[in-house]
Structure 1
Amino acid sequence: MISRRHLLAAMASTPIVSMLGTGTAHALPDGDYKALVCVFLFGGNDGFNMLVPSDNAHYDEYATARPAIAIPQASLLPLSLSTGSSLALGLHPSMSEIQSLFNSGKIIPIANSGVLIEPSTKEGLKEGTHAMPPFLFSHNSQQTEWQRGWSGSTTTLGWAGRLMDVLSSDSDEISPTFSLNGYAQLLNGSVQSANLINASSLPKVNAVSNAQRRKSFDQVMSLSPLTAFGREFDRVKGDSISIRDQLAAAIESVPEEEHFPDISLSQQLHTVARLIKSSDQLGHQKQVYFVGFGGFDTHANQLEDHAQLMSALSQSLAAFNQSMEAAGLGDKVTTMTMSDFGRRLASNGTGTDHGWASNHLVMGGALNGGQLYGQWPSLILDGDNDFNKGRMIPTTSVEQIGATIAKWMGVTSKSSMDYIFPNLANFTVQDLGFLKS
């Protein structure tokens, strides 16, 4: 007999599957709703022009490394942030909304983070005693590595999908994972796939978009196919219509909010906000969302283009945070940025080429705010943290960030954490401490 899972695998490229969950539920007995929202900055965000040292000594190091594209020291937005040293940090001048969230403890930075297999030094990588992640500096590969959360493997699963494998059961028909930006490996679990939703319109099947087509569709559905595959295919089609109707009802039950700006990322987050607020209708108590925003491959004209990107990111995250706090959900939702990689410290003229480590943001009401997490690197070209040509070696891994969030989401056992992040055992610090337990 053909299983639903096998049919879904066979149909993975067809539009109808994009609206299906795989029958996973999250009606946890303690009623503790939590959601993770992953914001992927496609192209490779320059995290060292987003978060910039502002004290004289560290700023001089930064400006010496990238004189053509350094943000003027006087224009940096000051942050009330403990770094544990003389280091002071400022924010890109286009991010005033995020500055306010930083200074109220609602956003924290994670310094110099990226894809690693194990803690690595320049010497160890050069001598081959530390394992090098595969296909560094390649857009597609590094987007996959960030979402896979298991560098060095070839699994098609993603770390958030494995997270939901651990936190889920099999009694609901709608998956608790949602992508507002197309296919995302991050959300692939062993028993589920994500609901793919267009932020500007609800998922729909053209065959049932009006009454006459729906009548014809129902007549076709009433026929009994001769094969097991045909019968299962019809069942999946029927499920897709049911899921579409439930998602439409859930989203439409929550009024639109006018404060979300007309920015693609903001509109995705607006739909995320409406789904989160209707999670009880879907029977979910743990959810993961994926949204994406492109344009970060700034090989040229970086100062102007990156300023616009930073402004859009700042406005979008602030609007989403406002929505969650107004609904009393600020401490129930954690939002994190992800990106292919950072940029090289050295410029190529007016832009930057592909790097490795970057700085990332985590937002939410459950944060232990007011401090820097991770290790700020030396920004000296060809120094101890520079792998080559200004490509910074990460000092905090994707796994360490993800494991900290997974613990907050409800993962308690070592075996479960090992399933989600098989490389985590390579790192001494497995909980970075930026979320309240």
Structure 2
Amino acid sequence: MTHIHHFHSRRRFLGAGGALAAALGAGSLANLLLVPRTAWAADYKALVCIVLYGGNDGMNMVVPTDTTRHDAYAAVRGPLALPRSSLVALSGSDYGLHPAMAPLAAHWNSGMLAPVFNLGPLHEPLTKQQYRDAPEGSETVPESLFSHSDQQIQWETGTTDSQTRTGWGGRASQHLATVNPVISLGGNGHFGVEDLRMPLVLPGPGAGFGAYGLRPEDQDWEPNRLRKAAIDALYAAPQPLELGAAFATQQRSAFDVSSRLAGLVGIRPGDADAIPQIDAAFAPLINGGAVTGQLGPQLYQAAKLIAANAVVQGNRQMFFAQMGGFDTHLNQVGGTATEGTHAALMGELALALSCFQNALVALGLAPQVTTFTQSDFGRTFAPNESRGTDHAWGNHQLVLGGAVHGGQTYGSYPTLQLGGPDDVGLEAWELQGRWIPSSSVDQYAATLLGWFGVADADLNDVLPNLANFGSQRTLGFI
């Protein structure tokens, strides 16, 4: 009955939206945003997950600025160390951001940005001694540590088992019975996979969206109309198997979603239907009518979908975006520590995040949207011989949004000592600074999902290892 109610509610909304567009004489989404929101937008919240594929060097993203720890940092990091004077000050704290991340300073100062320290996949709280004593294959230690593919899966699924299929974003969406699955703007990933739904993968701004020949605008030609009618009849027929019914449901949903969102997906900066607040916020990334970079186009698309949340439908929406290139084994820095591959990545990340947050502020939606980063793992504190870093474990992440208790840091920053209490290494050859996480992916996700609307009593179903952390279920940053 719930599904039928949602279906008819959507149809009523679409009919009303079409009539309104005709009355306005324009039908632009920008104009639709000026009218009162429908019931679909009541209590609206969105989560935006950004995965930094390859393993971001969080130790150079957020750096201690107090003399004692910065001296320890500089002594070990050598050619990779960022001079204290170059860091973007996080005022009121003992930390600074990478010098390429200056666009985020204003968001820290406005209380919307919070770094979260030393996160990673954990089955349960883990000390160095417990790690060293754990027998081979023990569930105490996550599977296949320091492996890209395994750690990406564990971050995105909120487990320590690399065979898990569903993502923690997908399980949360399924638990809340969201109208849409996770909306992916960065291709396929485990994060949004549910038991019976896959993420809705959308192309970038300006791209066509829908099956060619089956779109509403293609139905004037009789062969297309007959083909579409046959396909509709096929997917409307009863299915004897649950898997077949789920597939048919997904296909019907795909046609419904594409008919609603094709116009919105296709909007580019400067188009007649473009939303002025979003174009203004993304101006630093717009060139020749296109949004530049890896992440910028994805967040521009997310901003449009969030602004038009009544068109997208549902009062809970989750988005997935990603950047690649973070596997910086060599030449992580250029001529100086503030130049090179990692600096370029940090600059792109910071500017795209800042443009996105500025758009949300301008739209009055900042308190309703929380953006957060994930990455495979951190990188070794000690550099390798190629002016790069290797695979590690615990890592720092960023959370940004109007509901975030920003302007302060969260979690436990590791002890900057090779072979110390936070380093997995013991023998001389393994003293690289691969930090044992002090907080888990489960606690990080539980903090975000608690704000999103998942009841605390239900979080154990979404995050299977969360119960192992006792009363320390959340991290307090939102």
8 Å CA contact retained: 1:207, 1:213 = no
The verdict on how the C-alpha distance between 1:308 and 1:115 changes in structure 2, with shifts beyond 3 A counting, is: same
What does residue 20 of structure 1 align with?
none
- 1:305-316 superposed matches below 5 A: 305-316=341-352
Q: For the residues of structure 1 that align with 2:190 and 2:355, how far apart are their CA atoms?
A: 27
What does residue 180 of structure 1 align with?
185
What does residue 223 of structure 2 align with?
216
Q: Deviations over 1:163-183 (max 9, x none)?
A: 1122226xx5xx242001111
Provide the secondary structure at the position in 1 that maps to 2:424: strand
What does residue 143 of structure 1 align with?
152
Structure 1 residue 249: Cα displacement: 3.6
What does residue 352 of structure 1 align with?
389
The verdict on how the C-alpha distance between 1:412 and 1:70 changes in structure 2, with shifts beyond 3 A counting, is: same
Q: Deviations over 1:95-120 (max 9, x none)?
A: 11112211221100001111111111
- 1:301-380 superposed matches below 5 A: 301-303=331-333, 304-349=340-385, 350-380=387-417
8 Å CA contact retained: 1:44, 1:341 = yes
Provide the secondary structure at the position in 2 that maps to 1:307: helix
What does residue 168 of structure 2 align with?
159
8 Å CA contact retained: 2:181, 2:197 = no
Displacement over 6 Å in runs of 4+: 27-30, 224-235
Q: For the residues of structure 2 that align with 1:370 and 1:269, how far apart are their CA atoms?
A: 23
Q: For the residues of structure 1 that align with 2:221 and 2:456, how far apart are their CA atoms?
A: 48
Structure 1 residue 269: Cα displacement: 0.2
- 1:206-285 superposed matches below 5 A: 206-208=212-214, 211=218, 215-223=222-230, 237=251, 239-251=253-265, 252=267, 255=275, 257-260=279-282, 261=285, 262-285=292-315
Greater shift in the superposed pair: 72-81 or 250-259: 250-259
Question: Quick one: which of 263, 287, 291 aligns to 2:321?
Answer: 291
Greater shift in the superposed pair: 294-303 or 381-390: 381-390
What does residue 40 of structure 1 align with?
51
Amino acid at match of 1:184: G
Greater shift in the superposed pair: 219-228 or 359-368: 219-228
Amino acid at match of 1:425: A
Structure 1 residue 401: Cα displacement: 0.7
Structure 1 residue 189: Cα displacement: 1.8
What does residue 192 of structure 1 align with?
197
The verdict on how the C-alpha distance between 1:40 and 1:81 changes in structure 2, with shifts beyond 3 A counting, is: farther
Provide the secondary structure at the position in 2 that maps to 1:287: strand
Question: Quick one: which of 123, 127, 131 aligns to 1:117?
Answer: 123
Structure 1 residue 217: Cα displacement: 2.9
For structure 2, the residue ranges without an aligned partner over 5 or more in a row are: 1-37, 268-272, 286-291, 334-339, 426-431
Structure 1 residue 157: Cα displacement: 0.7
Amino acid at match of 1:217: N
Q: Deviations over 1:361-403 (max 9, x none)?
A: 0000001122210001111111111113221111011111100
8 Å CA contact retained: 1:176, 1:284 = no
Alignment of 1:66 onto 2:66: no
Q: Deviations over 1:228-278 (max 9, x none)?
A: 779977886554333211112444565361542122201100000101111
Amino acid at match of 1:325: V
The verdict on how the C-alpha distance between 1:308 and 1:372 changes in structure 2, with shifts beyond 3 A counting, is: same
- TM-score for the superposition, normalised by structure 1: 0.85
Q: For the residues of structure 1 that align with 2:452 and 2:72, how far apart are their CA atoms?
A: 39
8 Å CA contact retained: 1:176, 1:286 = no
Greater shift in the superposed pair: 94-103 or 38-47: 94-103
Question: Quick one: which of 374, 387, 409 aligns to 2:424?
Answer: 387
Amino acid at match of 1:397: S
Structure 1 residue 30: Cα displacement: 9.7
Structure number having the greater helix percentage: 2
Greater shift in the superposed pair: 287-296 or 425-434: 425-434
Provide the secondary structure at the position in 2 that maps to 1:346: coil
Q: For the residues of structure 2 that align with 1:272 and 1:38, how far apart are their CA atoms?
A: 11
Provide the secondary structure at the position in 2 that maps to 1:68: helix
For structure 1, the residue ranges without an aligned partner over 5 or more in a row are: 1-26, 83-87
Q: Deviations over 1:306-343 (max 9, x none)?
A: 11001101100000001111111000000000000110
Greater shift in the superposed pair: 232-241 or 289-298: 232-241
Structure 1 residue 432: Cα displacement: 1.0
| Number of aligned residue pairs | 399
- Give % identity: 37
8 Å CA contact retained: 1:254, 1:278 = no
- 1:9-20 superposed matches below 5 A: none
8 Å CA contact retained: 2:219, 2:225 = no
Greater shift in the superposed pair: 365-374 or 306-315: 365-374
